[in-house]
Amino acid sequence: MSAVIKESELNLRPMQEHDLDSVIEIENQVYKYPWTRTIFNDCLHVGYCCWVIKKGDALLAYGLMSIAVGESHVLNLCVHPDYQAKGLGTMLLVHLLEIAVERNANMTFLEVRPSNFSAIKMYIEQGFDEIGIRRNYYPSKMGREDALILARTVVRGDEFS
């Protein structure tokens, strides 16, 4: 059984440029085909919702989401390997969903690899449903891998947990 980190020890705040070294380090540890610094930098500069969870000086998790025309799209949600399965991914996702509601989005979308069972479980637990497949979406060892498209409605009064 995994221990849940006490929320009082955590700092959930907007991502800043000086976080990118830590973000890139985690991205490279977690993903075989990581985002580049340029992608993260572009997300910051265009005003996407970019958040981090820190404990002291250590960056533990980050999430990025775009919001436009009543829809939000979770673009990247990642937890440092040493802190996975401790509730941080859920904490960050819930925070992003709350921001989506505050900014009048009524639907949130995301893509996830079908092989990412723990992420799929978390998304389903947070009310997401599979609505489709994007063929050949992700790079993989064997060429390309499909992505599951998940979505959930988000409206004022929703309780996220």
For 73-104, how does the pLDDT look when each residue is reduced to its tens digit (9 = 90+)?
Answer: 999 999 999 999 999 999 999 999 999 999 99
Tell me if 96 sits within 8 A of 65, measured CB to CB.
yes
Could you tell me if 126 and 160 are in contact, meaning their C-beta atoms sit under 8 angstroms apart? yes
pLDDT tier for residue 2 given thresholds of 50, 70 and 90: very low
* Run of H or E residues at 119: helix 117-125
Q: Is the pLDDT of residue 138 over 60?
A: yes
123 is catalytic: yes
DSSP classification of residue 33? S
Q: Is 111 noted as a catalytic residue in this protein? A: yes
Decide which of 3.40.630.30, 3.90.550.10, 3.90.1200.10, 3.40.50.1370 is the CATH code for 10-153. 3.40.630.30
- Output the six-digit token pair for 135: 């063929």
Tokens of 138: 């992700």
Pairing of strands 71-79, 107-112: parallel
Of the candidates 36, 27, 31, 28, the one whose C-alpha atom is nearest the C-alpha of residue 113 is 31
pLDDT at 3 over 80: no
Say which of 48, 83, 123, 138 is annotated catalytic: 123
pTM of the prediction?
A: 0.90
The domain ranges of the chain are 10-153
Given 71, 111, 130, 145, which residue is catalytic? 111
